[in-house]
Amino acid sequence: MTPRPHQTTRRTTVLRREAVVAAVPVAVAALLVAAGPAAAGTVGSSGAGDPYFPLSGNGGYDVRHYDLTLGYDPQSRHLDGKAVITARATERLTRFDLDFKGLKVTGVTVDHAKASYRRDGQELVVTPRHFLRRNQEFRVTVTYSGTPKPATDPDGSLDGWIPTDDGAFVAGEPQGAMTWFPANSHPKDKASYDFTITVPKGHTAVANGILRGQSTSHGRTTFRWRQSEPMAAYLATATVGKFKVEQYTARDGLKVYNAVDPREATAAAPVLKKLPSVLAWESGIFGPYPFRAAGSIVDRAPQVGYALETQTRPVYDSAPDLSTLVHESAHQWFGDSVSLTAWKDIWLNEGFATYAEWLYAEQHGGKTAQQTFDSLYASPAGSGLWAFPPANPGSGAHIFDTPVYARGAMALQKLRTAVGDGVFFRILRTWATEHRGGHGTTAQFVHLSERLSGKDLDALFHTWIGTAGKPTAP
């Protein structure tokens, strides 16, 4: 994710918003034993156990696929939705939760049978007519409607379904997915997606993956998108606006789809033109691009203040500069393909994407990564750069602060100088390859670095990502 310069809590002059020496495993909260004579079942927990966002995600099941059908009217800001969620029970369930906040639920079924439900804050609590067996695949259908409102994050910023003057800017990190569809909304639970989005003729609805088709009838246009590779809920988008659309197939067969607000088109064009070469450069360093589609959504949303690495197609609140494009593109490997198991580990996303900016500058006539490191190290001991360790931001309010980005990248530069270029770039490529489509933790990255380098790196990682304060020597 990338912030705008005026967001002083989320940016230094070298980075933009997106935010363990030993990783804390994300334990699913203990399941409660169901009461009553049918006490052979359990109740899925209301959270996935993340200390920063305790109610994010849910226990007792694993989502395989989301099929989302949406109708949105930008003028009235009214949304009609139907979510069909295919999941597998990981316990014998009598009840389970979905993360869903704000919109009115008009019906819930489980395997086509009407289910009872109730709202409890951000939780939609579902009780199926019959209990679910462990390992049983089941299908939940939720219909809903209303005016979606964005979530306010602990740092005060907005995410989720954010209205614009011609549609909606939809960016869900870290908790905004629940503002527009019911989900198991923690990065631990990734799934494939289908989107069917209907908007007034003249508007475009852009989601993740590949555009499977569009059709117009009775003054409304329907767009059908498919994201086949696993995706965390916060990376889903359904951005709506009056966009200028560009589609092409890159030399390597990658399907590219760019949607640009015409007011941003002139500024965005020279940067978006470089997208294929940026992805090719990153593929040469990090390994093959992990998805079948790519592109960009460039909106005009001054109230947002950041860009986000929505999977396959980052969304920008205005025309991006080249460094921002490099940053969000690098997230397709680090954050999207290789996802978090706990928000505490977000430096694995943001530090890595920030370091990609440094590498790109180094290899394209700009400062070397070491020069960028040195200029940052010159920051006084009392500056925000040293406020907390990158691998322990302390709370959800700080996951997008300077140490996560800049000091996280500094840790990678220290690793590079410690193990040498050959081993360092092999570490990055192996990390992206071995965890492709899955998850990673700080502890796993430290272990991989030690395995490939043959060195004890505990002191290095402890100093640069595990402790607060300015290290005494660079």
Q: What is the pLDDT of residues 281-296, one digit of tens each?
A: 999 999 999 999 999 9
CA–CA dist 135, 156 (Å, integer)? 40
pLDDT number for residue 4: 47
Confidence of residue 28 (pLDDT cuts 50, 70, 90): very low
Q: Categorize the per-residue pLDDT at 3 as very low, low, confident or very high, splitting at 50, 70 and 90.
A: low
Neighbours of 19 (CB within 10 A): 28
**Contact present, 113 and 130 (Cβ < 8 Å):** yes
Place of tokens 């009115």: 104
Over residues 386-393, the mean pLDDT reads 97
* Residue in the block written with tokens 């033109």: 273
- pLDDT in the model for residue 251: 85
Confidence of residue 17 (pLDDT cuts 50, 70, 90): very low
Residue type for position 286:
F
- Under the banding of pLDDT at 50, 70 and 90, the label for residue 40 is low
Average pLDDT, the chain: 93
Query: By mean pLDDT, which of 26-30, 86-90, 108-112, 462-466 is the weakest?
Result: 26-30
Q: Residue 23 pLDDT > 70, yes or no?
A: no
Q: What DSSP assignment string belongs to 219-274? A: TEEEEEEEEEEEE-GGG---EEE--EEEEEE-TTS-EEEEEE-GGGHHHHHHHHTT
Q: Which residues contact 341 (CB under 8 A, 6 or more apart)?
A: 23, 25, 26, 187, 188, 439, 440, 441
Report the distance separating Cα 264 and Cα 298, nearest Å: 7
pLDDT at 5 over 60: no
Q: Which of 435, 460, 459, 347 is nearest to 393 (CA)?
A: 347
Q: Decide: 342 and 24 in contact? Cβ < 8 Å.
A: yes
Confidence of residue 474 (pLDDT cuts 50, 70, 90): confident
Using CA atoms, how far apart are residues 301 and 316, in angstroms rounded to an integer?
A: 8
At 431, the pLDDT band (50, 70, 90 cuts) reads: very high
Task: Quote the percentage of the chain above a pLDDT of 70.
Answer: 92
Q: Max CA-CA distance within the chain?
A: 72
For residue range 128-149, what is the model confidence (pLDDT) as tens digits? 999 999 999 999 999 999 999 9
In which region does residue 102 sit, left (phi positive, over 0), alpha (psi from -120 to 50) or beta (all else)? left
Specify whether the CB–CB gap between 329 and 282 falls below 8 A: yes
Whether 227 and 311 have beta carbons less than 8 Å apart is answered as yes
pLDDT over threshold 80, residue 32: no
Lowest mean pLDDT among 15-19, 210-214, 252-256, 342-346: 15-19
According to DSSP, the residues that pair with 231 across neighbouring strands are 191
Kindly indicate the confidence band of residue 41, based on its pLDDT and cuts at 50, 70 and 90.
Answer: confident
Name residues whose C-beta falls within 8 Å of residue 217's C-beta, 6 or more positions apart in sequence. Answer: none
| Alpha-carbon span 294 to 114, nearest angstrom | 39
Nearest Cα to Cα of residue 10 among 282, 378, 400, 379: 400
pTM for this structure? 0.92
The model's confidence at residue 340, banded by pLDDT at 50, 70 and 90, is: very high
pLDDT mean over 364-384: 97
The number of beta carbons lying within 10 Å of the beta carbon of residue 62 is 14
Paired residues of 206 in beta bridges? 239
Q: Which residues contact 50 (CB under 8 A, 6 or more apart)?
A: 26, 56, 57, 186, 342, 343
Q: Residue 2: pLDDT band by 50, 70, 90 thresholds?
A: confident
Query: Contact, 134 vs 90, CB < 8 A?
Result: yes
